[in-house]
Chains A and B, each alone.
Chain A
Amino acid sequence: MHLKYESTLREPLVDGVKDYHQVTEDIISPIEAKPGKLWYIGLFISILLLLFGVFSVFWEVYFGTGVWNLNKTIGWGWDITNFVWWVGIGHAGTLISAILLLFRQGWRTGVNRAAEAMTIFAVMCAGQFPIWHMGRVWMAFFVLPYPNTRGPLWVNFNSPLLWDVFAISTYFTVSLLFWYSGLLPDFATVRDRAKTKLRKMLYGVASFGWTGSTKHWQRHESLSLVLAGLSTPLVLSVHTIVSFDFATSVIPGWHTTIFPPYFVAGAIFSGFAMVQTLLIITRKILGLEDYITIGHVEAMNKVIVLTGSIVGVAYLTELFMAWYSGVQYEFDTFYNFRAAGPLGWSYWIMMTCNVISPQVFWFRKMRRNIMVTFIMSIIVNIGMWFERFVIICTSLYRDYLPSSWSYYRPSWPEVGFYLGTFGLFFTCYFLFAKYFPVIAVAEIKSILKTSGKNFKDKMDVYEDQSVEKFAHDNTHH
């Protein structure tokens, strides 16, 4: 998994003087302590938001989708915008856990647990929208291909929306498995430290009888690799498939072959921004600055500036193609109704937040500034929300026949539904932060002796040694 020796030029991934016990203490003890006042307030607000969301959805299901301000021209608005946004956010977790695992990026260990949790919660939130946006949600099971007495009536495998069903559910399942299998050794640690019976029992059940035997570890490592292998294509496929919802259509502004890479880059972009938002708060509140270091923050900011720039290139490519294709409808959509027109403001919010502002991360000072990072992470997520809004709404509101052109403003149940998913997300996240080890203890330990600060410091002596001396000292005759 990791190198036995790491250059001191590399920043340590764990700061402070840590040994294995200290790591366990740092990360597990918040689970055993009573949570602070802030946690209760946060959870309370989250639950309130969640309840408001439940009420908004109830309102919509009971009275009909007409309580949303969608119309004959604009069939999707905040609902699918939020869906794509949440799915996009979910991407960072899998990317960190799977792709970075395969690429042997040691720094992922500090952030992967929280990022994966975020993925799962974000996908849970995302899943709400395609379900509740259905006009007859009680018939939602029609999208599942199961043997039936209706003909037999089968689902339409040509529909990108059906692909979504499979893509999202697979993604959710694999992410959940990956996350949970990683949690097993840490749950076992909590169980072993537990001083109350209840805790011992609950974490005992949750750890599936983990004993830490070599066999367990070996299987655990293998499973991680297998799941990483499975998740890697998923990182690319999920948002590719989500982008097919639009790319395979005939609507100008949707019908674009650039969408799959553009969506994936955008998803990673927003996912990392969300990880930043959450971890900057978490590390502060739980005092985990030693594990989620400035180095981690900087690494993620690099991903953000890269993916942000990819997205920026995609935006410009779209504009170019709209002109170069010579298609009147597409030209109008991009130049007159996106970049200008009544919804033009949303395009410029998107451009500013996603393309222009992340460029500050070309500066190392900025990348390593917590406050700047935090603000930027919020800005990026606003920008990415608007990207989806722009794609969905500014394409629909003025399409082929001008007679149907319309305008869109959300109604309170639409906003309420969105806020409700924040409630769901943060309720889950607060519970996670309290009851789950927010950093992968076992994985941190695996890199501690090569990348921990106090261990790296010991290497300084060798750094100054001449090669001959080192060879002499370490060669046993």
Chain B
Amino acid sequence: MEQKKYWKGLEELHNTTSHQEAVKNEFREDLPFEESESFLGATTPRRDFLKYLGFTTAAATIAASCDIPVKKAIPYVNKPEDITPGVPNYYASAYAVDGEYVPLVVKTREGRPIKVEGNEMSAITKGATTARVQASVLSLYDVARLRFPGINNKNKETDLAKRIQELQYAELDKQIAAALSGKSVALLTSTIISPTTKKLIGEFLAKYPGSRHVTYDAVSYSGMLLANEASYGKRTLPAYHFENAKVIVSLGADFLGTWLNPAEFSGQYGETRKINAKNPEMSKHFHFESMMSLTGANADERFTHRPSEAGVVAQALLAALGGGVSAPAIANTRLKEGIAKAAKAIQANPGKALVVSGSNDVNVQILVNAINNLAGSNGSTIDWAANVNYKQGIDADMQQLVSDLNAGSVGALIVYGVNPAYDYFDAAKFISGVQKAGVSISFNDRYDETTELCKYILPDHHYLESWGDAEPRSGYYGFIQPTIAPLFKTRAFQDSLLTWTGNTTAWVDYLKNEWITRLGSQGAWDKTLQDGIIEPATAPAMGGASFTGDVAAAAAKIGTPKTSGLELVVYEKVAIGNGKEANNPWLQEMPDPITRSTWDNYACVSNKLAKSFKMELGDDYEINAEKKVLKITAKGKTVELPLLIVPGIQEDTIAIAVGYGRGKKEFIGKAAGEVGANAYPFVSYNGQTFDYFVTEAKAEATGAKYAVGLTQTHNSYEGRPIVKETTLEEFIKNPKEVNHDRQHLFETYGEDFRNEGTLYTGGTKFEYPGIKWGMSIDLNSCFGCGACVVACTAENNVSVVGKEQVVLAHEMHWLRIDRYFAGDENNPEVVFQPMLCQHCDNAPCENVCPVAATNHSSEGLNQMAYNRCIGTRYCANNCPYKVRRFNWRDWNGADSFEGNLHDTADMNDALTRMVLNPDVVVRSRGTMEKCSFCVQRLQDAKLHAKKEGRPMKDGEAKTACQQACATGAIVFGNVNDKDSRIFKVRNEEQTDRLYYVLEETHVLPSINYLAKIRNKDAAPVAAGHGAKTEEKAHH
């Protein structure tokens, strides 16, 4: 068949050249992509619009997302044997500063100590810590620490490198050996509880005949030591056993806050304050004081007296107990009745009472010893068999030293761990004395007021870099081992002494030899270091003592109290103490338990006294941070400080905290330098001991105002059922009464209030299979000391904001302790309520976040995804507990903006940042944060159990606040675990006292509180009526 040819046109039929060409180039037109020669001249045709739009949007998105600065981490070239990045190592050590003793377990990460916890093996503290101990890890990284030894040029430079001529230790040792030779040395230290150091000091002093060791405590307990010598023949402190006491009478001893060793006493006291619901009983605590102390705030019955009346109160109590002294006249009837009441309680509980006094007056303490003797405390609540070494300073020795210095009879002065140029009451005299000493050497950690005067400066290690031991109580030992190589060119004080003694042994070997000799083997020493303590397996029997004091003579020497005019008390703040560790931003920012102020000292006055300066409690006082400045004159010394109204302070008393008014910021540090005024000059020497109060003080308003950074301005809980309390008597009578409003909720909404009190049919029930975290806080054993606050700060890298920002209420604490006053303005009841994220199961914060940055975990945690947060603050507004914290500024350099860091306290120095917990991210500016229930610890505990292939045990996961608490007021755990402590507390042990704050809002919090019980006769301030401390008597 013929192949037919079909053609479309003549060109194809004839197959012309043009046709051939056309077939070859099928697509004759160019594709419409235009390429232009120049970039700027490029055209953007319509067809490319979507392409360009897509590209620019994507590019803009990527550019906008890339805001996190990249920081490089360098891995180990040779991995150290003991260090696995990401896995912490724990070392036992001890905090033994100025005689205060807290055995510790130190957490290190990648070779850096970042957190301390109490050593639970110790029978003395039982794992308790205090705020100051918790914060001590930050002091290791203090940028103001001296970094090298040298000779003080004593010039006017503010740069320490110019002020101190750096020298090698070999050269210094040579010079000092020459200087010391043949001289009588005065070694001035605070209380040393290290037996080996003391032995070494003995050897050192023996080398320089005529030398002596003077122990000087900035806040002295000489009165007790001398009184004990007079009463019982030994100049030592006994061991107190608050846990055995049914009646506790404190005459101004702040044993929960600052007295001797609060970590020990808090735990003991806590034992007497816990309520066993089946058999409710608790100690009865009477407190007599002039200012408002933390301990006084926790007392069941509190009475105030003028500072000069302290002795009279002791005498009256002794007289009431029939102690062979005449009862002095006391004008204040309330006080008088209080003394009678306390005496009656003591008499009703023979052998179960404990009376302690914060007075530093020998005669007062002799009377107190007599009271305890009469009360049968010796051998039951006071153990005289044990010698307690917490304080050893004798004021007269210091007086002698100062006059010897001024007489020029001291060849060499060696200062170790004390700063008399700041904290000695007659600092000028000390300063002039030092200048007359032949040689002066300082071991202090910074260029402080005393070091400034010394010629040779050989900074000592921080305790976390040191070796050491401690004997807080006879037979009980603690050990200090370094947890990091010394950061700077510092040298142990003991190494210097050894060298100057001519002993070539290093201190570590000296210590080791000493203990291996005592323990018998290297193995035993290793075990000891691992435990951190040596304590008797069973508590040794307690010993009594026979009282031989001359009560009549002591009573005769009690001065006549003043009856008019102002008096002044000098006290220690719970966080700052004597001021030694003042340059610690965590401590400075920790709100004072009573005044809720930060970063300052001030004149505490009563509302009545404040009124005479035209300032009083009320709205104006509350909303204005600026307080009137008072010029306070006593003993010819003057300070100017803002006033703060403290309900409960004796109305003619002004109380001022020590620890402020330090030297230049460049030397002391940014946190403590040049802040507040020094109150030590108000201390006086009464011929025997230092007195910490002054009569005949004068105060006048200067007309100036000064902003004080308060974290809480309103004092009353306005009768709202957020705090529930009752008396022991009422509670025994009707345990349900304290929670009657909760009962009402049950009656209205049914027992299954959780699911029935909701709009949604069938409830919003999520069963939380597996783990459901919960916390219980016992208001009865929380004393408001603030250890948990600092522990939380340390664990969670909570930012420090500085005073100006606290004034703006920008502080970042995830956990705060609310302090409320109730009742009479002059004799208020106080309640402390730790407040942190309640991890609500029906959380109002979660549903309002537009970007779901805060959400709920399957374990009941209210979580924050910081990366997702855009900072609308809606969640914080909608939080009924106001526990959410917004990063108002760039506190820690986590921000992508350069040069806007807001760091007032050197918290972002490369050195300081070593304290950051690598498990917790630092939050950038503009994000919200809050308590996470220490989720990193919870994860760690879960993973740990998982690795071992077993369920997690109760107590494995502990929050930082729980662990820091001296009294175990915080119980935390898995509420689904029927064997857990938290389950038992909620469902078995404390069902009557259990309540949830703002339960009626149906946010379903995961934290419950246990109602507070006061052991007092009077009916409690009726719920529903707030304190009269507030201006408002509302409906």
Contacts and interface: CB of A to CB of B under 8 A. Distances in A.
A336 B714 CA distance: 14
A250 B717 contact: no
Contacts of B870: 134-137, 139-140, 142-143
B1028 interface: no
B880 interface: yes
Interface in B877-920: 877-878, 880-882, 884-890, 895, 897, 900, 902
A252 B886 CA distance: 22
Contact of B720 (A136, A248, A328): A328
B805 interface: yes
B926 A161 contact: no
A401 B835 contact: yes
B670 to A, nearest CB: 19
A173 interface: no
A105 to B, nearest CB: 38
Interface in A247-266: 248-251
A71 B873 contact: no
Nearest to B1034: A336
A73 interface: yes
Contacts of A142: 850-851, 868, 870
Contacts of A329: 720
A161 B619 contact: no
A405 B1032 CA distance: 14
A140 B873 CA distance: 13
Q: Which of A75, A133, A154 has the most CB of B within 10 A?
A: A75
A222 interface: no
A341 B714 contact: no
Interface stretch (A20-28, A59-67, A311-319, A415-423): A59-67
A332 interface: yes
A75 B876 contact: yes
B720 A70 contact: no
A64 B902 contact: yes
Q: Which of B64, B848, B998, B1001 has the most CB of A within 10 A?
A: B848
Interface in A67-111: 69-73, 75-76
Given A65-B926, A155-B852, A404-B882, A75 B869 contact: no
Contacts of B844: 249-250
B189 interface: no
Contact of A249 (B713, B877, B925): B877
Contact of A153 (B810, B868, B889): B868
Contacts of B851: 142-143, 155-156
Contact of A73 (B809, B871, B1035): B809
Contacts of A71: 808-810
Interface string A435-447: 0000000000000
B392 interface: no
B849 A66 contact: no
Contact of B848 (A159, A396, A398): A159
B177 to A, nearest CB: 55
Contact of A135 (B819, B820, B873): B873
Interface in A387-445: 396, 398-407
Contacts of B924: 136
A324 interface: no
B512 to A, nearest CB: 51
B40 interface: no
A402 B716 contact: yes
A402 B880 contact: no
B872 interface: yes
Contacts of A363: none
Given A64-B889, A142-B851, A406 B713 contact: yes
B718 interface: yes
Contacts of B849: 156, 159, 161
B881 A400 contact: yes
B1001 A399 contact: no
B67 A162 contact: no
B799 to A, nearest CB: 12
Contact of A156 (B820, B850, B882, B998): B850
B871 A403 contact: no
B847 A158 contact: yes
A331 interface: yes
A5 interface: no
B722 A65 contact: no
Interface string A114-132: 0000000000000000100
A134 B713 CA distance: 27
B848 A136 contact: no
Contacts of B720: 328-329, 400, 402
Contacts of B816: 403
Contacts of B714: 398, 402-403, 405
A136 B871 contact: yes
A268 to B, nearest CB: 26
A72 to B, nearest CB: 5
A165 B67 CA distance: 24
A76 B878 CA distance: 11
B859 to A, nearest CB: 20
A332 B848 CA distance: 25
Interface string A320-355: 000000001101100110000110000000000000
Contacts of B876: 72, 75
B231 interface: no
A160 interface: yes
B889 A400 contact: no
Contacts of B848: 158-161, 248-249
A65 B888 contact: yes
Contacts of A160: 848
Nearest to A397: B623
Contacts of B820: 402-403
A135 B887 contact: yes
Given A331-B1035, A336-B1032, A402-B714, A407 B622 contact: yes
B874 interface: yes
Given A71-B809, A155-B851, A64 B900 contact: yes
B374 interface: no
A66 B878 contact: no
A40 to B, nearest CB: 36
A292 B400 CA distance: 96
Contact of B809 (A63, A76, A130, A406): A406
A251 B873 contact: no
A464 B443 CA distance: 114
Contact of B902 (A66, A135, A341, A402): A66
B808 A403 contact: no
Given A69-B808, A156-B849, A400-B720, A75 B835 contact: no
A331 B622 CA distance: 21
Nearest to B720: A328
Interface in B110-147: none
A141 B874 CA distance: 17
B494 interface: no
A65 B759 CA distance: 36
A401 B818 contact: yes
A66 B805 contact: yes
Given A249-B877, A341-B619, A401-B722, A135 B871 contact: yes
B1034 A141 contact: no
A143 B870 CA distance: 9
A398 B1034 CA distance: 14
Interface in A132-189: 133-143, 153-156, 158-162, 165
A417 to B, nearest CB: 16
A42 B870 CA distance: 37
Nearest first, the 9 closest Cβ-Cβ pairs linking A and B are A135-B871, A135-B926, A66-B888, A71-B809, A75-B873, A403-B818, A407-B623, A404-B882, A136-B926
Given A64-B890, A162-B850, A402-B716, 6 more contacts: A76-B874, A154-B852, A250-B844, A251-B878, A331-B1035, A336-B1032
16 contacts: A63-B900, A64-B925, A64-B926, A75-B874, A76-B874, A133-B872, A135-B871, A139-B64, A143-B851, A159-B847, A396-B877, A401-B882, A402-B717, A402-B720, A403-B816, A406-B809
